[in-house]
Amino acid sequence: MNSPVISKQYQDKIDELPDIQGFGAPQLGFIRGNLASDKKTYRTLGEAQRAAKATPECTGFTSLPSGGWRLRVGTCVKIDAGSIGHMDVSFLKVQYHQPQRDEL
């Protein structure tokens, strides 16, 4: 799969985010589906992490263009022109990460 071309600003945004226990590395793109039981926008990464860990049906969280984070229920990160334009970043819980394979 070809990686999308993203701006240095977008790559820097991803690179500056920390690793979070219980979640995979930050990924460019968005997780589909807001958590119906939680419409809150979390202001900080720490708030989103704690809420996601405490909510079994939550699969991760995605940044919002206006700032903050929303809990999500999709099981993979999607990339499209809108997510690249908004510089979306998502964290999936570890159990939803696809196994990594070396390409030969």
- Count CA atoms closer than 13 A to 59's CA, side-chain side: 16
What CATH number is attached to the domain comprising 47?
Answer: 3.50.4
Q: What is the pLDDT of residue 28?
A: 94
Q: How many domains in the chain? A: 1
pLDDT digits (tens, 9 = 90+) for 29-49: 999 999 889 999 999 999 999
**N-terminal to C-terminal alpha carbon distance within the chain:** 14
Closest CA to 75 of 55, 50, 97: 97
What value does the mean pLDDT take over residues 74-98? 92
Q: What is the pLDDT of residue 5?
A: 80
Q: Is residue 104's pLDDT more than 90? A: no
Residue 104 domain flag:
no
- Specify burial of residue 54 (Cβ count, 10 A radius: 0-12, 13-18, 19+): exposed
Q: Is residue 22's pLDDT more than 90? A: yes
Residue 100 domain flag:
no
Domain boundaries, position 16: 8-95
Q: What is the pLDDT of residue 103?
A: 57
